[in-house]
Chains A and B, each alone.
Chain A
Amino acid sequence: MIKVEHEIHTRRRGRNIGVGLLLLGFITIVFGLTVVKVLELGNARQFETFDHVARPQIIPQEGTQ
Chain B
Amino acid sequence: MTHPLRKSGMTDISLQETTYEAGMGDYFALLKPRVMSLVVFTALVGLLVAPVPVHPFIGFVAILCIAVGAGASGALNMWWDADIDAKMKRTAGRPVPSGRVAPGEALGLGLSLSGFAIVLLALATNFLAAFLLAFTIFFYAVVYSMWLKRATPQNIVIGGAAGAFPPMIGWAVATGGVSVESALMFALIFMWTPPHFWALALFVKSDYGNAGVPMLTETHGRDATRKHIIIYTLLLVPVALGLGLTSIGGPIYMAVAVIMNAWFLKGAYDIWRRDDAACAADKHAVEIGVFKVSLYYLFLHFGALLAEAALRPYGFGGW
Contact = CB atoms under 8 A, between A and B. Distances in A.
Contacts of B12: 2-3, 6
A3 B57 CA distance: 47
Given A15-B23, A15-B24, A36 B15 contact: no
A6 B22 CA distance: 14
B23 A29 contact: no
A33 B64 CA distance: 13
B61 A33 contact: yes
Nearest to A13: B23
Nearest to B8: A7
Contacts of B120: 29
Interface string A1-40: 1110010100110110010000000000100110010001
Nearest to B58: A36
B57 A32 contact: yes
A33 B57 contact: yes
A40 B64 CA distance: 21
Contacts of B2: none
Contacts of B210: none
B57 A8 contact: no
A8 B15 contact: yes
B24 A14 contact: yes
Give the interface size bracket for A toward B.
Answer: 10 to 19
Contacts of B124: 33
Candidate in B18, B22, B57 with the most chain A CB atoms within 10 angstroms:
B57
A51 to B, nearest CB: 19
Main secondary structure of the interface of A (DSSP, over half): helix
A12 B23 CA distance: 7
Contacts of A32: 57, 61
Nearest to A19: B24
B61 A29 contact: yes
A6 B15 contact: yes
Interface string B112-139: 0000000010011000000000000000
B205 interface: no
A12 B13 CA distance: 18
B55 A36 contact: yes
A3 B124 CA distance: 48
Contacts of B21: 8, 11-12, 15
A8 B18 contact: yes
22 contacts: A2-B12, A2-B13, A3-B12, A6-B12, A8-B5, A8-B18, A8-B21, A11-B21, A11-B22, A12-B21, A14-B24, A15-B21, A15-B22, A18-B24, A29-B64, A32-B57, A32-B61, A33-B57, A33-B58, A33-B61, A33-B123, A36-B57
Interface of B: 5, 11-15, 18, 21-24, 55, 57-58, 61, 64, 120, 123-124
In the A-B complex, list the 6 residue pairs whose CB atoms are closest, starting with the nearest.
A18-B24, A11-B23, A36-B57, A32-B57, A3-B12, A15-B24
